[in-house]
Amino acid sequence: MNGSVEYTQSEKRKTGYMMAYRDNALQYSEHWIVNVPMLEEEGYRVFLKTIKNVPDFTAVVTFNDTIAVGVLRALKESNLHVPSKVAVVSAGNTMITRIHSPAITSLDMGSYEIGAKAAELLVDVIEKRRIQPSHEIIQTRLVERESS
């Protein structure tokens, strides 16, 4: 369940997803990647249709935690137990992942660190301490919870 097509990150994540399949010599189908507006209700609505069109899936990866909540609701209504039948993993590691039941496995992308580093770089530019572009790598980590 990818994000909306108008977001650059959606295309980048799709590319990364397909590369991971290729790098591990796994078969995949473009039909498995569904773009949805990044809302809980849209995740729910679109995934209910997806359940009917994609048989025998065992996992769902969502663009963000909000979409994951909608996917989990669709799975529950379809009597597909999480995680014994279907694992769900999202991206963002927002507070909803900890308070939802089941708690959602999520990729923590270091949002706080990204914001802090961006602010630091901006101050450097404003104060003319830095004029050259720079690249920073912020580590991500998978936070495993009940949904996988």
pLDDT digits (tens, 9 = 90+) for 17-49: 899 999 999 988 888 899 999 999 999 999 999
Query: Is pLDDT larger for residue 55 or for residue 92?
Result: 92
Give mean pLDDT, residues 52-71: 94
pLDDT of residue 63: 96
Name the architecture of domain 8-110+139-143. Answer: 3-Layer(aba) Sandwich (3.40)
Please give the model's pTM, rounded to 2 decimal places: 0.86
Lowest mean pLDDT among 56-60, 105-109, 124-128: 124-128
pLDDT of residue 53: 86
Separation between Cα atoms, residue 103 and residue 71, nearest integer Å: 13
